[in-house]
Amino acid sequence: LRTDIPAFAAHIASTISNVTGNGTVYKAVFATERYDQGSNFDGASTFTAPVAGKYQFNIRLYLSGQVSAIGAAVDLVTSNYTYGMVFQGFNTSANADGWTFSQAVDMDLNDTAYVNITVSGEAGDVIDLNNTARNHFSGHLIA
């Protein structure tokens, strides 16, 4: 086991209700750490790079509550750049939908990374992050 390589994995602690839907940007909170090798994840939302290098981040989201949502933007926000993914065509008949997003990024010492979620098309913020087993944020140093 390489304990010298920064790595973390976290998921939501319980359903987080009414976070977005009407264009509101929600900074995702992944409060349950599965592991945090090097203690570089703050236990809520933000990873801080302990060394400069290339990092791989993985995001899995499962949203529910949508009625008329037209799209979602998931952003991996780092100090150097924002990596975005847009998802169109919510499954409103199932009232839930899920996505996976992965990205390799360059980070300098003490750069940060976190996840923003924005859903549009609802009359209000009715979108939930639902089911702890399906909402994850993880990352590790790759080079």
What tens digit of pLDDT does each residue of 55-112 get?
999 999 998 888 887 788 999 999 999 999 988 766 666 677 888 999 999 999 999 9
Show the tokens assigned to 81.
């750049």
Measured in Å, how far apart are the chain's first and last C-alpha atoms? 17
User: With bands split at pLDDT 50, 70 and 90, how would you rate the model's confidence at 11?
Assistant: very high
Integer CA distances (angstroms), 21 to 63, 65, 107, in order: 10, 9, 31
Q: Taking a C-beta distance cutoff of 8 angstroms, is the pair 105, 76 a contact? A: yes
Q: What percentage of the chain exceeds 70 in pLDDT?
A: 94
**pLDDT the model gives residue 3:** 80
- What span, in angstroms and rounded, lies between the C-alpha atoms of 80 and 63? 28
Burial class (CB in 10 A: 0-12, 13-18, 19+), 139: buried
pTM of the model: 0.94
